[in-house]
A = this chain, B = another copy of it.
Amino acid sequence: MQVGVIGSGSCYDDVCEFAFRLGQLLAERGCVVINGGLGGVMEAVSRGVSSRGGVAIGIVPGKDRRDANPYCKYVIATNMGHARNMIIVHSSDVLVAVGGGYGTVSEMAIALKEGKRVVAYKPAVKLEGLIVVKTPEEAVSKALEGLE
């Protein structure tokens, strides 16, 4: 199971705490976490995954793998800017959005268009089909429902 976790490159409120705990829970369930590889939510979820010995794969927008945060076990460098968002979507069985801004909106929209399940915590917009959750535990439960 490859679970995409998407969110902003900078943190606010409790969003990064949510992402860190989400990473821990996903790793405990044996999920590989796909994410954008940079800071903020991407770093927090990778750190959570890493803290439980799991695997986070960062898919970075630039061409230098060193752009990635140190908690990504493997790094894919695309050199494709925002188009890397689409690769995150295609590489994930299901997606969890944690807060986020415009970039996260673009990923949620394409994932829903592709018919993928999208679970969201504090989403910037309410897109039709989005499954809104309140805790990391609920996010994991809703994300993996029917997939395992």
Interface residues, chain A, with chain B CB atoms under 8 Å away:
2, 32, 34, 55, 57, 59, 63, 65, 74-83, 86-87, 89-91, 101-103, 105-107, 109-110, 112-114, 124-128
Tell whether A90 pairs with B103 under 8 Å between CB atoms, given A65-B2, A125-B127, A127-B125: no
- Rounded to whole angstroms, the CA-CA distance of A57 and B124 in the bound complex is 32
What are 6 A-B contacts defined by CB distance under 8 Å? A55-B74, A63-B81, A87-B87, A103-B113, A106-B113, A124-B128
The answer to whether B109 and A102 have CB atoms under 8 Å apart is: yes
Q: Are B82 and A86 in contact (CB under 8 A)?
A: yes
Closest CB in chain B relative to A105 CB, distance in Å: 4
